[in-house]
Amino acid sequence: MMSLRFASVRRHFRTLPTFAPIPGLLLMFVVLGAGCSSFNDQWRKTAQNPAPTNDIQGRWQGRWISEPSGHSGKLRCLILKMPDDIYQARFHAKYGQIFSFEYTVPLKVQRTGETFHFSGEANLGRFAGGVYRYDGHANGTNFFSDYSSKYDHGTFTMRRP
């Protein structure tokens, strides 16, 4: 009797298509793709204006590296100056060749000569590691930041494209 049931179940699953789309997975790719498209549109628009040499606003690109795991990936950032020495840093990070993640961090900036020192934090959510803190410096051409969270820490290194 048990072998008859197993044969029936096995026959049922054999008739299912092997690559039927999973609605949740499909929705995830649509949502992730939409965010990436928005970032890419803004990236292209910002490229039309020359990068300021005396400020950190504009486009940046480089790499992120996690010290504990050794994981790394491409990193792009759009920085926009806000009132009261606050800059909005919109990061777009790649993990592996296909996964990307986008988030925004408000940075408190203090300028000393040609160097901009900054710090900020953002809650990326429980599944992404919670609150991340950033501390770094930049000038008109180079950007460096340490980052840390409860489960990870590492560096961002970027230059003007």
How long a stretch of residues is the chain? 161
Q: Which pLDDT belongs to residue 39?
A: 92
Block mean pLDDT (10 aa), the chain, length 161: 41 38 37 63 92 92 96 97 95 90 96 97 92 97 97 97 93
Q: Which domains does the chain have, with CATH numbers?
A: 32-159 (2.40.128.120)
CA distance 102 to 8: 46
Q: Which pLDDT belongs to residue 50?
A: 87
Q: Which pLDDT belongs to residue 36?
A: 60
In this structure, are residues 51 and 159 in contact, taking their beta carbons and an 8 Å threshold? no
Statement: the pTM of the whole predicted model exceeds 0.85: no
Neighbours of 114 (CB within 10 A): 11
